[in-house]
Amino acid sequence: MTKGMIVVESPTKVKTLQKFLGDDYIIKASVGHVKDLPEGELGVDIEKDFQPQYVTIPGKKKVLGELKKASQKIKNIYLGPDPDREGEAIAWHIAEEIDGKEKNIYRVLFNEITKNAVLDALKHPVKLQQSKFEAQQARRILDRLVGYQVSPILWEKVRRGLSAGRVQSVAVRIICEREREIERFVPEEYWSLTATLKGKESPVSFDAKLVKWKGKKVSLANASEAEAMKKRLESASYSVSKIVEQEKKRHPLPPFITSRLQQEASRKLSFSAYKTMRVAQKLYEGVDLGEMGTVGLITYMRTDSPRVSSEAVHQVRGWIKNRFGETFLPPKPNIYKGRKSAQDAHEAIRPTSFDLDPDRMKPKLDKDQWALYKLIWDRFVASQMASAVFLQTTVEIKASEGIFTATGSVPVFHGFMALYVESEDNHLSAAKQDEDEEKKLPRLSEGEVLDLLGLIHRQHFTQPPFRFSEATLIKELEEKGIGRPSTYAAILFTIKGKGYVGMEKGKFFPTELGYLVNDLLVVNFPDILNIEFTALMEENLDKIEEGEKGWVETLKEFYTPFEKDLEMAKASMRDVKREQIPTEVLCEQCGSKMVKRWGKRGYFLACSTYPECRYTREVEENGEPQKVETDVKCEKCGSPMVIKNGKFGRFLACSNYPACKSTQSLNTGVHCSQEGCDGMLVERRTRKGRTFYSCGNYPKCTFALWDKPIPEKCPQCDAPFLIEKQGKEGIVKRCHRKECGYRASE
């Protein structure tokens, strides 16, 4: 006789549980949500305290039928969807559908899919948590109110198919505002002065940087100031005025929470947030390990708490001792505190068993699964290892009225860094790299006179703010309290899918559509596009879950001002779809003035006499037709070619259009380096909008590069061209031959 029926979300989890429990339980999968608000209509009765009108999700009628049938003769029903708000809603809806009057309905929470965890959860079932369900319901209704009431206005005023979202629209706003910061940025010039020095007895030279002049922080604004300072110091005597040696510690980071996992997987593995969660879900639910069966390898991957069970800490400390030795083990376990807003329902993300180390699992997992599993494993193990210790030496050197400093740092004890070091974001890594560089200074003594081998002054420019990567955008959303760890992947996936943002070299930029929709929403819906307001709503959802606030009360507080904005927007939002902006540009076919209009691919110029004249042409942001003339001559008529923008990027078009419709790919002026190929490298764009450079003889020649080639010989190996990209220290030129290693920044 069965002990009961267990309902989980995924069929994969069914297989894993069946292996642990055998025939003791009937195990079924809901395959995600079974009920939701209806498609195509609001599904919320605003007048009756926002009562939701749930319906069975299309395609789930059969699933619900099977669950009802399987539960008919069973007394104990254990609902085990994922242990978060969404899982609670699934459990609640299944409980409503199963006739529970004569049944015992329990909630079981699986933080990890291992035999011990599953058996323990079944021994200690809990009641369905109404406040957690109401928090999910409030979030779902909030998102429906915004999405289904703002999106139709965008369809009417801009284009069908657009969408607005309570959180996604704020994410787009953050990207738009960062891009405008970059556009407004004016670089400031500054110079540095570096001395190459050597002690009298030491054969090793070292560099020191000028930091003070006459007791004040040095500031060299231009070349003439730098040159004058260099001349002053060329004849000065250099001596060591101060040496400071101190031991510095670098402590390990806590184990992963969801957002940190998404950020680090983006930096180290180039995974999107969506891919990270998809792969992590598989590792959590269970992977087929052959003779071992299906095994869940990590704990639940949606969490914002760094808490770890005492049993797991005990196990990992034993593993560290055996693998690395006593010296790598701190006297007491490392304990980490979560953020104030963190929900402490689940542990941090960690491996479920220390018998299944990454080396053993490598043949059993696919490439992505293994990479993410190893990342989670290494981070968790490192979190319980001893701190790294460095000996840092700072030398102060006096020269005339100037002070130079040189810093060296050498590891005394690698500690956790023997296993794992967190990656840094682009705009931080340059400074961090300098700080952590294992650079040893020669042995010096205070008062020692030094030989000056050379003085170099270098020009620098302040850098604009960096565009957001997936990692840095998630970090920004988290710090501002926008969304929750479980929602970040979906937010990023949506804003890319809707065409509001694009990605170039792994960084977000707003599209013309993104700018337009953002500006309309900021003007017409100041509350829902307000970062602080959105963060406050997230706090209110947390309070609903904690039983401190009512869900109806929260929705009323939101809807009262929102309803007013909604009515105003319907009446006064710019009607971009029908808008015709006058210009001074003349139609090339009939001579009438052209107007700027909005279409599927953004703004374009159209003849004002439409439909009599249907002539259109491209337009730049300032409203003028795009005519960037080049030295290239048209192969058909000899007219100059101009650079234009098309669906797949920039290209060359004849300036004699429409009389001549000749086009060419945009030539970089760099010859293809493939042996035996006489082609030139041309600029192209992928279907997703990413720029790359490939041979013009494609498909005969498949040579391609992601970075821009420039027609400059490599000064180190004489390669025919260099490539350039925006690096952490500005524009970086480097040799395209990896074995050469030439690199220079501007």
Catalytic residue among 274, 300, 373, 515: 300
Sign of CA dihedral 715, 716, 721, 727: negative
Regarding beta strands 4-8 and 25-29, do their DSSP bridges make them parallel or antiparallel, or are they unpaired? parallel
CB distance 106 to 127 below 8 Å: yes
336 among known catalytic residues:
no
Which runs of consecutive H residues, i.e. helices, occur in 347-487? 358-361, 367-383, 426-436, 470-480
What H or E segment, with its residue span, contains residue 571? helix 551-572
Residue 497 CA to residue 689 CA, distance in Å, equals 12
* Per-residue tokens: 26: 């009937």
Who's near 192: CB < 8 A, 6+ residues apart? Answer: 209, 210, 220, 226, 457, 458, 460
Which runs of consecutive H residues, i.e. helices, occur in 22-84? 61-71
DSSP 8-state code for residue 489: H
Partners of 211 in beta bridges: none
CB distance 21 to 293 below 8 Å: no
How far, rounded to the nearest angstrom, does the alpha carbon of residue 688 sit from its chain's CA centroid?
17
Residue labelled with tokens 């074995």: 739
CB distance 453 to 196 below 8 Å: yes
φ, ψ dihedrals at 501, nearest 5° = -135, 155
Residue 258 CA to residue 334 CA, distance in Å, equals 20
Who's near 137: CB < 8 A, 6+ residues apart? Answer: 52, 89, 551
* Per-residue tokens: 173: 């706003």
Who's near 90: CB < 8 A, 6+ residues apart? Answer: 9, 30, 32, 33, 34, 79, 81, 82
Strand locations in 475-601 (E): 501-504, 507-510, 581-586, 593-599
333: preceding bond cis by omega (within 30 degrees): no
φ, ψ dihedrals at 423, nearest 5° = -75, 160
CB distance 288 to 294 below 8 Å: yes
Residue labelled with tokens 């770890």: 308
CB distance 63 to 31 below 8 Å: yes
Write out the catalytic residue numbers. 300
